[in-house]
Amino acid sequence: METQKRDAWSSNFGLVLAATGSAIGLGNLWKFPFITWENNGGAFVIVYLVCILLVGLPIMMAELLIGRRSQKSIVGALRDVAGPAWKFVGGWGVLCGFILLSYYTVIAGWSFFYFWKSLGWTFGGFPADLSTGDLFGAQVGDAWLQFMLSLVFSIATVGVVYFGVQKGIERVAKVLLPVLFGILVLLLVSALGMSGSGEALKFIFEPRFGELEWSGVLEALGHSFFTLSLGMGAMITYGSYISRKQSIVKSAGAIVAFDTLIALVATIIMFSVIFSVAGLSEEVGKSTVGMLFISLPELFYTVMPFGTVLGPLFYVLVALAALTSTISLLEVETSFLIDERGMKRQKAVIVSGAAIFVFTIFAALSFGSTPVLSTMVAFGKTGWFSIADHFVSNWMLPTGGLAVAIAAGWFMTRKATEDELVDGNQPDWFRYGAWRFFIRYVAPVAVLAIILAVILGRDFS
């Protein structure tokens, strides 16, 4: 077997862009706005920000440092830094990535459909009698369409990862992320000019602690894992391509800051539009999950300034954001096969992409088109998609995150983690002792609280 030279980022900027691309995704554009809505904004957002800072940021540093120290994909990385039995935790991460990618692709594929539709509306006019709710139902219920949308998205993901870390992932992130920021700025400017923007900002940022329930606190914590791509080794894998010259602390800080900023901006945009239309907030309340695909399409063409141009651009944005996340998920699988099974990258990408796609089909057909898949029930959830998402969000990510915190805080030596974080490039504000306290005590206790809450019956998906 010939050994392949291990890939690496070309620069610190490459890592930050690629990892930021992984973090920014459907979690920011689709999930965060609707859980903020469901939890009544204000206090929820503050608790979420606290979770990101106290739990997400330390674990982000832990994943990146485990990756850089071992220069291996997750199974080998955890085995190297924490001990032989930890390879099972790595395996848990590989499985988690497999399932997450299989269903995430389905929602990502919807962005193609809405891009196509909105292009048609831009040039042909928005039909006055169109019900976007009905359109959504017809779209998700069409088996063939769902299959094709997911297939095209999977091929795009495989196509990028095929070309490797520098020539594939990094190059794509370098182009896509600036485009994504640009589109968001345009949307933000337009949204802030709308009459509802003041009310939206108030809803999002005014702390009203009386309205927040404990379940909302726990949901904020769970989402901070999802949105930062933590808890399944994606950041361990990306960390394994960092060179010693780069500061983990600075990179982690930048990734977390960008991800948080984008989630807030997306939410401001969506709520500004929604609050600008009288009576719409009651309607949105009925299908918060559909905000992105039911409420927004129509609003672009009826109320939003420059909406006819921004509409199609917005769905391009969703597709790009999702793509930089799916490539990181596929890279976890690929690098596992390369490092642990000695496969060539090209073969590893195709093998894992094809295997995952089989399960993507199940998820794609579970929105009404195929009764067995749409009506199956497990963990109190109906349909393959919801069951898979429930299992990953409620069980796999939190347990994986807990394991990473324990590996970095209790199984690695103080010297090993200190060497990685205090590497001469770290920023002035960084205090190693504080990180160690957070990773040993604060993060595990907070995550255990989530897991306990899930065991006691709380649902986070």
Compose the 81-120 pattern: x for residues touching ligand TRP by CB under 6 A, - for all others: -------------------x--------------------
CB-nearer residue toward ligand TRP: 227 or 374: 227
Secondary structure of the chain: what % helix, strand, coil (to 5)? 80, 0, 20
CB 228 to ligand TRP: min, Å: 6
CB 231 to ligand TRP: min, Å: 7
Residue span binding ligand TRP (CB under 6 A) among the ranges 18-26, 115-123, 171-179, 181-189: 18-26
CB-nearer residue toward ligand TRP: 234 or 363: 234
CB-nearer residue toward ligand TRP: 265 or 304: 265
Q: Which amino acid is at 222?
A: G
The reply to whether 401 sits near ligand TRP by the rule CB under 6 A is no
Quote the tokens at residue 38: 């469901």
3-class secondary-structure state, position 382? strand
Which of 150, 247, 251, 328 binds ligand TRP (CB under 6 A)? It is 328
Report d(CA 425, CA 448) in Å as an integer. 33
Report d(CA 27, CA 98) in Å as an integer. 17
The reply to whether 295 sits near ligand TRP by the rule CB under 6 A is no
CB-nearer residue toward ligand TRP: 26 or 364: 26
The reply to whether 23 sits near ligand TRP by the rule CB under 6 A is yes
**Per CB under 6 A, which of residues 329..358 are in contact with ligand TRP?**
329
3-class secondary-structure state, position 381? strand
The reply to whether 26 sits near ligand TRP by the rule CB under 6 A is yes
Quote the tokens at residue 375: 């009506």
The reply to whether 224 sits near ligand TRP by the rule CB under 6 A is no
CB-nearer residue toward ligand TRP: 264 or 329: 329
Bridge partners of 154, per DSSP, are: none
DSSP 304: S
Query: Is residue 417 within 8 Å of residue 65, measured between CB atoms?
Result: yes
CB 120 to ligand TRP: min, Å: 27
CB-nearer residue toward ligand TRP: 368 or 400: 400
The reply to whether 27 sits near ligand TRP by the rule CB under 6 A is yes
The reply to whether 324 sits near ligand TRP by the rule CB under 6 A is no
Report d(CA 191, CA 364) in Å as an integer. 32
Query: Is residue 61 within 8 Å of residue 431, measured between CB atoms?
Result: no
Report d(CA 221, CA 241) in Å as an integer. 28
Residue span binding ligand TRP (CB under 6 A) among the ranges 120-128, 152-160, 201-209, 224-232: 224-232
The reply to whether 232 sits near ligand TRP by the rule CB under 6 A is yes
Contacts of 46 (CB under 8 A, 6+ apart): 207
Which of 190, 325, 334, 374 binds ligand TRP (CB under 6 A)? It is 325
State the DSSP H helix or E strand holding residue 259, giving kind and residue range, or none if neither: helix 248-275
The reply to whether 56 sits near ligand TRP by the rule CB under 6 A is no
Which of 7, 17, 20, 25 binds ligand TRP (CB under 6 A)? It is 25
The reply to whether 386 sits near ligand TRP by the rule CB under 6 A is no
Report d(CA 218, CA 451) in Å as an integer. 9
Q: How far is CA 24 from CA 19, 190, 199, 235, 447, in A?
A: 9, 21, 26, 13, 22
| CA 161 to chain CA centroid, nearest Å | 17
The reply to whether 39 sits near ligand TRP by the rule CB under 6 A is no
**Per CB under 6 A, which of residues 234..263 are in contact with ligand TRP?**
234
The reply to whether 227 sits near ligand TRP by the rule CB under 6 A is yes
CB 16 to ligand TRP: min, Å: 15
| CA 61 to chain CA centroid, nearest Å | 17
Residue facing ligand TRP at closest CB distance: 27
3-class secondary-structure state, position 378? strand
DSSP 86: G
Helix count and strand count (H, E) for the chain: 24, 2
What residues make contact with ligand TRP under the rule CB under 6 A?
22-23, 25-28, 100, 226-227, 229, 232, 234, 325, 328-329
